[in-house]
Structure 1
Amino acid sequence: MTPHSSGEASASDFKPSFAEFIALLALLMSMVALAIDAVLPAMSAIGDDFAVKDVKDLQWIVVALFGGLAFGQIAYGPISDAVGRKPSIYLGLLIFLVGSLVSAFSSSYEMMLVGRFIQGIGVSGPKVVAVALVRDRYKGREMARVMSFVMAVFIIMPALAPSIGAAVLFIADWRGIYEFFIVLTLITLAWFALRQPETLPADRRIAMSVATIWHNTKEVLSHKVTLSYIFGAGLIFGAFVSYLSTAQLLFKEIFQVDAAFPIYFAVLALSVGLASFMNGRLVIRYGMTLIANRALMMMFSCAVIFLAILSVMDGVVPLWLFMIFGALVFSCIGLLFGNMNALAMEPMGHIAGVASSVIGSATTFISMLMGMLFGQTYNGTLYPLFTAFAIFSLSAWLVTRKVRAETSSD
């Protein structure tokens, strides 16, 4: 399959090689993961610095960013369809820079959370527009293949991010992590500006108006295939948010792992990356629908089996057993991320920017609500987390069941 259909830009028009294109897109998208995961080792220090009394309130450090991410994604797609992909990414990176400055120099916990919310609004720009940029160049299984390779490289960042945050804490306090964000944002901005040409020519841009945005948004949300996979992806991402918001507490309180937390976090994150990389090869042969269906079934089965083991062992399991089942579940999530987003985007190539915004925003809203709901049920055991994995995977399987026949060839 060729990367382009009639009317789409030719691959020869692009300066970066395929490998550089993947690396640049992965870095842009990984700003989200970095903003979340690099701060995780510092959550206790932030709580101590601002005298946060209830440890559950520390989850807002993650949730605030997701809130900004959900709201920010609404705007960037229409903006990128109207003015082009590059200016939209510039805007997002600059807003992320402002949010990092606010958090770095905050004088209260509430101000730091405002900075996190601004960071989320900013980083949603590269996240949304990067997907539209890929859709400008690729379609179908080839798009899923590219997205899987991007996700595989992207996942290196959440695997490394807690270690980066922990390393910063050795030489500075938690504010140094936000200063690191500032430096990395400037580097990313320069690389993108110098190496990535615009992928949306002027004659394919859509004038931004309330009527146009509303019409295109209704088209996205009324397409039953896209809508089903929005809910499915949101539920799966919600399971992941449940883990992210409680990860440090989980390792510290249940397994007494503190200093080594970044290592264990990285192992589970890499299982997502390895699965995404494998999907980039498997999807061409087996298709997105079949792989997503099997991954949902496997995720549900693993979660139910682990809950049964927990029950038999009175809620106490060794760390190695948790890591095995965690890696299995996260491998399923790695297979689902790229495929479910590509399945949602596939019918929307003619309005890729708006579609990417609506899909990304709706998915994030669903995941944030579900993640908050189950994050607040954390009780010092593994029951809430694996219950979330089971419920969300089964629900995602059910909401995509009716449309799988229509996408079975993808």
Structure 2
Amino acid sequence: MSSTKSKIALKPRALGERELIVLMALLMSLQAFGIDAMLPALGQMAEEMGADGNRRQWVIAAYFLGAGVGAFFPGAFADKFGRRPILGLALIAYVSLSLACALATDYDVLLAIRLAQGVLCAGLSVVPAAIVRDHVGGDRMARLMSLIMMIFLIVPILAPAIGQAIMYFAGWRAIFGAMAVMGTGVGLWVWGRLPETLQDDNRQDIDPRTILRNMGTALTDRGAIGYVVGSALVFGSLFGFLNSSQQLIAETFGMGDYFALIFGGAVLGMVAANFTNSRIVERFGARRVSHVALLVFIGISIGQLLSARAQPQSLAEFIVLMSISMAMLGFIGANFASIAMQPFYHIAGAASSAQTAVRMSTGAVLGALIGNLYDGTALPLAASMFSCGLLALAIVLFSERGKLFRRKTPPGTSAPIP
């Protein structure tokens, strides 16, 4: 009897909504910290390891690409074995490979480890969305994802400053040590507090045909695919900014000493957008909010293009326009992801894997290409943002059969879905 009571006491209790939001945000933030804390160190890292020109960007691009490829796998295993074991493995990989990066002495070896880290830690991006979908759906999921993104985005604001401070006191290698410490802390929280959210009747077999069928379903549904590819396109332009931000701010505008402050200011709009979205999305619907945001993103990208062509472009113009663009991505990201996941409650893990993989891998490739176009000006980035926005609008129109701003209602009900 006492043994039974002991086992019950050790089983984590269900999380409240606030703790769920914070924990999911921190899990996703580990990925962001592993990218954004590196940004101030790219110049010093490249100089020490002999990486010339735009090649320095591959410390970021390799991680993005690995995360995109790796995202195909954890969802299917999470649908079979549960969410907790997959998160545990991803966290172990995050900590151990961060320490391996800190010890690397060759640039190509460092890139290989970063690529492997992206692959093995992809569960940190995939599983949280599945856990949220286990709890809620519809516009409420969009609201929770917005709150998660709001907290998550605090990390990109603070990470460059943290990375710069760590470099000042201990050198760039210590940034990877900080990643390992953060991963350990979040891992202990998951182990002690996160219960298993996968229901037994939703467990899927680890069978290639089943996995491919579930992923295929998640990627061939007409109502979902436009939002998967659309978000990949607009976030590809964001990844292009991340890849080239250190060069843009330090070299184009000559403000390298203030990189962390300027970069954080640009990201701040995304935090405000996600907070606003969490307040309005259940009233107006995820489709209406995100469609308006996409149109505004296209309009602002035209302004950025005109500003970049009028040389010399001022830093103030660039940052103001970039901040508005990133704010629109705050409205687009959580809503597009929620709309795309809506039909797939019973295969949430596989659906999250397939959709995250497409978003991340497409975004990573686009981001690397856009970053590599850096020519000392912001013009390539601005042109890429405009092109990606137009293509995203076209694919969303395909999913919506040519009509925007509608709230859909499931057959036989009066309750709208996003």
TM-score (norm 1): 0.94
One-letter code aligned to 1:15: A
Distance in 2 between the 1:119 and 1:101 partners? Answer: 11
The answer as to whether partners of 2:307 and 2:317 remain within 8 angstroms in 1 is no
Q: Distance in 1 between matches of 2:367 and 2:358?
A: 14
Write out per-residue CA displacement over residues 339-384 of structure 1, whole angstroms, 9 at most, x where no aligned residue: 1111111111121000000000011111112112211111001111
Structure 1 stretches of 4+ with a deviation exceeding 4 A read: none
Aligned pair partner of 1:345 in 341, 345, 356? 341
- Which residue of 2 is the match for residue 324 of structure 1? 320
Cα separation, 2, equivalents of 1:270 and 1:294 = 20
Query: Which of residues 361, 365, 374 in structure 1 aligns to 2:361?
Result: 365
Match of 1:276 among 269, 274, 277: 274
Distance 2:48 2:303 in 1: 40
- Asked whether the 8 Å contact 2:301–2:386 carries over to 1, the reply is yes
Corresponding residue for residue 206 of structure 1:
204
Give distance in 2, aligned partners of 1:244 and 1:168. 20
1:196 to 181, 194, 197: 194
Q: Residue type of the partner of 1:22? A: I
Cα distance between partner residues in 2 of 1:267 and 1:327: 7
1:171 aligned partner: 169
Q: TM (normalized to structure 2)?
A: 0.92
Counterpart in the other structure of 1:225: 223
Please tell me the residue identity of whatever aligns with 2:278: G
For 1:189 and 1:306, locate their aligned partners in 2 and report how far apart those are by CA, in whole Å: 41
Alpha-carbon contact 2:397-2:404 (below 8 Å) kept: no
CA–CA distance in 2 between the matches of 1:247 and 1:254?
A: 10
Counterpart Cα distance in 2 of 1:163 and 1:122 = 27
Question: 1: CA distance between counterparts of 2:85 and 2:346?
Answer: 20
Q: Which residue identity does 2:387 align to in structure 1?
A: I
Whichever residue aligns with residue 45 of structure 1, its letter is Q
Contact kept, 8 Å, 1:41 with 1:165, in 2: the verdict is: yes
**Structure 1 letter corresponding to 2:28:** M
Deviation at 1:403, TM superposition (A): 2.3
Higher mean C-alpha deviation, range 367-376 or range 36-45: 367-376
For 1:40 and 1:66, the matched residues in 2 are separated by 14
Report the counterpart of residue 14 of structure 2 in structure 1: 15
Aligned partners of 1:242 and 1:375 also within 8 Å: yes
| CA offset digits 1:310-342 (Å, max 9, x no partner) | 33x3x2122112111111111111111101111
- Cα displacement (A) at 1:406: 8.7
- The question of whether the paired residues in 2 share the 8 Å contact of 1:92 and 1:121 is answered with no
Deviation at 1:14, TM superposition (A): 5.0
Q: Distance in 2 between matches of 1:135 and 1:172?
A: 41
Show the 5 A alignment for 1:141-160.
141-160=139-158
CA distance in structure 2 between the aligned counterparts of 1:219 and 1:204, rounded to whole angstroms: 16
SS at match of 2:398: coil
Alpha-carbon distance in 2 for matches of 1:395, 1:135? 28
| Partner of residue 39, structure 1 | 38
Give distance in 2, aligned partners of 1:331 and 1:14.
36
Q: How does 1:238-317 map to 2 (within 5 A)?
A: 238-311=236-309, 313=310, 315-317=311-313
Among 394, 401, 406, the residue aligned to 1:398: 394
The 1-side partners of 2:307 and 2:202 are apart by 55
Displacement of 1:23 in angstroms is 0.7
Structure 2 CA distance for aligned equivalents of residues 340 and 204 of structure 1:
24
Alignment partners' CA distance in 2, 1:310 and 1:28: 36
| Aligned mate of 1:162, from 151, 160, 163 | 160
SS at match of 1:110: helix
Following the alignment from structure 2 to structure 1, what is the Cα–Cα distance between the partners of residues 306 and 125? 38
Check the 8 A contact 1:102/1:111 in 2, yes or no: no
| 1:111-134 Cα shifts (integer Å, max 9, x gaps) | 111121122123311210000000
Decide whether the 8 Å contact of 1:302 with 1:328 is kept in 2.
yes
| C-alpha contact 2:13 2:193 (8 A) present in aligned 1 | no
Give the conservation status (yes or no) of the 8 Å contact 1:78–1:213. Answer: yes
Partner of 1:3: none
**Does structure 2 retain, via aligned residues, the 8 Å contact 1:94–1:122?**
no
Partner of 1:187: 185
Residues in 2 aligned to 1:159 and 1:377: alpha-carbon distance in whole angstroms? 25
Cα RMSD (Å): 1.4
Partners of 1:221 and 1:201 in 2: how far apart? 23
- Identity of matched residues, %: 31
Mapping 1:97-116, distance limit 5 Å:
97-116=95-114
Deviation at 1:32, TM superposition (A): 1.2
Contact 2:240 2:381 in 1 (8 A): yes
Instruction: Describe the SS at the equivalent of 2:71.
Output: helix
- Paired residue for 1:6? none
Q: Distance in 1 between matches of 2:65 and 2:315?
A: 32
Partner Cα separation in structure 2 for residue 203 and residue 306 of structure 1: 50
Provide Cα deviations, 1:247-270, integer angstroms capped at 9, x if missing partner. Answer: 000001111111210011111111
Cα distance in 2 for residues equivalent to 1:309 and 1:106:
41
Give 1:7's aligned residue. Answer: none
Match of 1:354 among 350, 354, 373: 350
Q: Distance in 1 between matches of 2:44 and 2:265?
A: 24
Q: Is the 8 A contact 1:31 1:123 kept in 2?
A: no
Q: Secondary structure at the match of 2:34?
A: helix
Aligned AA for 1:57? Answer: R
Q: What is the letter of the counterpart of residue 397 of structure 2?
A: R
